[in-house]
Amino acid sequence: MEKKIAVLPGDGIGPEVTAQAIKALDAVAKSAGHKFEYENALVGASAIDAVGDPFPAETQAVCESADAILFGAIGHPKYDNDPTAKVRPEQGLLRMRKVLGLFCNIRPVTCYKVLEDASPLKAEIVGGTDFVVFRELTGGIYFGQPRGRSEDGSIAFDSMVYSKEEIIRVSRLAFEAARRRGNRVTLVDKANVLASSRLWRETVGELAKEEYPDVELECMFVDNAAMQLIQNPKGFDVVLTGNMFGDIITDEASVITGSLGLLPSASVGSKVGLYEPIHGSYPQGAGLDIANPCATILSAAMLLETSFGLTAEANAIRKAVEISLEEGYVTKDINAERFYGTEAVGDYIAKKVEELVSAEA
Ligand code: IPM
Ligand code: MN
């Protein structure tokens, strides 16, 4: 097949990790006979520096005309330490999600057998973990109005707003995924305090009863979920939650797998999907060839499967990453004594992908 992929490397380690994912995609293209064409575009702090806008119109056009989007990371410390900055890199990411209609963020959390000891949690707790978080991505407190400051500046406010429609569309995707997996959805909310959470419970409960009676639904308060996630991660199958809770619990969940550098994500909703690692731009690591490329490479696997329907090729990438972990071909975050650079790990995985896909063809 012939496909066009928009590549948005972004800031910090973004360009290095997206480059490794492209190697894996090229390996797939070469050995399976596909043609992937890449078009680069600016986003984040690098876009602010170049054109004064973290998500320029030109980038939007590149995204809208692509079959899928591969995204690195955004963020720069010069904005983190300046609360008065009017234009921030993060605004680019949020606008991109909103404008492209990417209302559902999918973050799988799997603990690889060889990494059971890499987690600060006990191996018997993390071993066998396999769940996926469905995070609502274009609503809630990230976007709700009103937000801002009182006139004298002494009060600031954000609003957590959700409509039934926003809840239903992301929930449907979570229930469909549950049917393909362990058939269980855990709704994470704060319905004992928040009105918006009570709407989630009511709406998701109705949807489950009417359309997914075969899927088991459990509801859990977010504080309890934060605890359960690291006490008994095997107890989860599909986690469904709002924007901010999803942001927080997925960073927490990354601890289970041993490194934040291993978790991929897909953002879907409209016709073009966006694929990115869940980690940030790690500016301290930029240009040092130390960043773990696996999260982005695994995001490329999600891209192939979700946007192009290339499941076998996606699985070859996943297998190649697993082999690299088993063979100890890993970056410093995974093994601080014996490690390789970002490029070397990327090359190793791409070579394995080529072997695996060729063997299958
Ligand atoms: C993420 C990030 C973003 C978020 C930031 C950079 C705006 O933390 O994708 O999880 O909070 O959604
Ligand atoms: Mn986050």
Residue 7, ligand 1, Cβ within 6 A = no
**Cα Dmax for the chain:** 67
Please report the pLDDT score of residue 250 as a whole number.
93
In this prediction, the residues of the chain whose per-residue pLDDT falls under 50 are none
Tell me which residue has its CA closest to atom 9 in ligand 1.
278
CA–CA separation, 236 vs 116, rounded Å? 17
CA of 249 to the centre of ligand 2 (A): 9
CA–CA separation, 182 vs 216, rounded Å? 9
223 flagged as catalytic = yes
Distances, alpha carbon 13 to alpha carbons 31, 126, 171, 252, 291, in Å? 28, 28, 33, 21, 7
Tell me which residue has its CA closest to atom 5 in ligand 1.
90
Query: What domains are defined for the chain?
Result: 1-102+270-361 (3.40.718.10), 106-259 (3.40.718.10)
Residue 39, ligand 1, Cβ within 6 A = no
Q: Which residue has the tokens 């490194």?
A: 259
* Marked catalytic residue, from 26, 251, 289, 347: 251
CA–CA separation, 286 vs 291, rounded Å? 8
Residue 251, ligand 1, Cβ within 6 A = no
Query: Known binding site for Mg(2+): residues?
Result: 223, 247, 251
ipTM of predicted complex = 0.99
Please report the pLDDT score of residue 117 as a whole number.
86
Q: Please write the tens of the pLDDT for every residue from 237-265.
A: 999 999 999 999 999 999 999 888 999 99
**What is the distance, to the nearest Å, from the Cα of residue 230 to the centroid of all Cα atoms in its chain?**
19
